[in-house]
A = this chain, B = another copy of it.
Amino acid sequence: MTTAAPANELRTEALDYFKPLPSTVPAVSDNPITPEKIDLGKALFFDPRMSASGVFSCNSCHNLATGGDDNLETSIGHGWQKGPRNAPTVLNSVFNHAQFWDGRAADLKTQAKGPVQAGVEMANTPANVVATLSSMPQYVEWFEASFPGEDDPVTFDNFAKAIEAYEATLITPAPFDAWLNGDDGALSEKQTAGLRLFMDSGCAACHSGVNIGGHDYYPFGLVEKPGAEILPEGDKGRFAVTETVDDEYVFRAAPLRNIAVTAPYFHSGKVWDLGTAVAIMAESQLGADLSDKEVGEIVAFLESLTGTMPAATLPVLPAETGSTPRPSGEVQ
């Protein structure tokens, strides 16, 4: 009973910044989520034939076995080309205000259309995706069941909507959620000390909300710019989206759920150690020089954001037919 009061106090303060995950799959705009659509989206998410080469699926870079990302600085894609930015985790991404490091996609259905067409990623075209899907009767049936009443359900828009529906189910409740929901024992003493520090030193000013980030844009290097290795000069972040000088080197605050299992860090993917990343952030964003003990406490708190994966059973995908476009690994 003696610790109840401080825990409650800390929780009240924390609930001003953070929100626990909801217990159900959230609704998304203009895309009613149904079991049929989730199943179709899962099939599409795992299907490497959505890439021109037949090598990459969504799951290649957003691997559900490894925290929803690919553990690479930047992804390797079509023709062994490197992507420009670190692949973010797909887990809980439905709770981000917008998608991509620069927020250029308003939602997951818009995001899903990006990598599949990017020349350095899946290098496909909407027409070829639709031709591939239309060539397999089982896929056509799944689209019909997922988009009932539509004359022509096998479209690139519906492809993206189904993926969004599946991704919306990828939610990972974590010890921090249990703690926010009232379970004092869900965090260790070191973790609550880290949480305290995370709020008091200013981290929570940007990394807040249900995803502890992911909802607004901030300049990287607010107080002091990190070196060009970590913040490459050629990548001006949100400036490319808004073409506003104020948005130079502005990025969406990284959502921090599962951060402990999704190294390497930052849009450049240049930092592999979470403590190092925390120290860089403190210095560049807050002008704070954290002690090793403080960094350790914040890292311990961040580890409480590692959630439980929903069981993901691999789909059994339809086989190609005579009219399925053949894979091509050629680089244009």
Contact = CB atoms under 8 A, between A and B. Distances in A.
Contacts of A82: 329
A121 interface: no
A317 B66 contact: yes
A156 interface: no
Given A327-B71, A329-B76, A65 B317 contact: yes
Chain A interface mostly helix, strand, loop or mixed?
Answer: loop
A312 B313 contact: yes
A314 B66 CA distance: 10
Interface residues of A, number: 41
Interface string A304-332: 00000101111111011010001101010
Contacts of A48: 63, 66, 70-71
Contacts of A261: 319
A46 interface: yes
A273 interface: yes
Contacts of A314: 64-65, 309, 312-314
A272 B79 contact: no
Interface stretch (A4-12, A49-57, A96-104, A288-296): A49-57
Contacts of A47: 65-66
Nearest to A77: B55
Identical copies of this chain, number: 2
B322 A272 contact: yes
A315 B273 contact: no
Nearest to A79: B80
Contact of A71 (B49, B67, B316, B322): B49
A260 interface: yes
A72 interface: yes
A47 to B, nearest CB: 7
Nearest to A262: B319
Contacts of A322: 272-273
A263 interface: yes
A72 B54 contact: yes
A262 B60 CA distance: 20
Most B C-beta atoms less than 10 A away, residue of A46, A66, A312, A315: A66
B320 A71 contact: yes
A313 B309 CA distance: 11
A82 B261 CA distance: 32
Interface in A242-261: 260-261
Contacts of A316: 65, 309
24 contacts: A46-B65, A48-B71, A49-B66, A49-B71, A54-B70, A54-B72, A55-B60, A55-B70, A64-B314, A65-B314, A65-B315, A66-B317, A67-B319, A72-B327, A76-B329, A260-B319, A261-B319, A262-B319, A272-B322, A272-B326, A273-B322, A309-B314, A309-B316, A313-B313
Given A80-B329, A260-B319, 5 more contacts: A48-B63, A48-B70, A65-B317, A80-B80, A272-B320
- Closest 6 pairs between A and B when the two form their complex, measured CB to CB: A261-B319, A80-B80, A312-B314, A65-B314, A65-B317, A46-B65
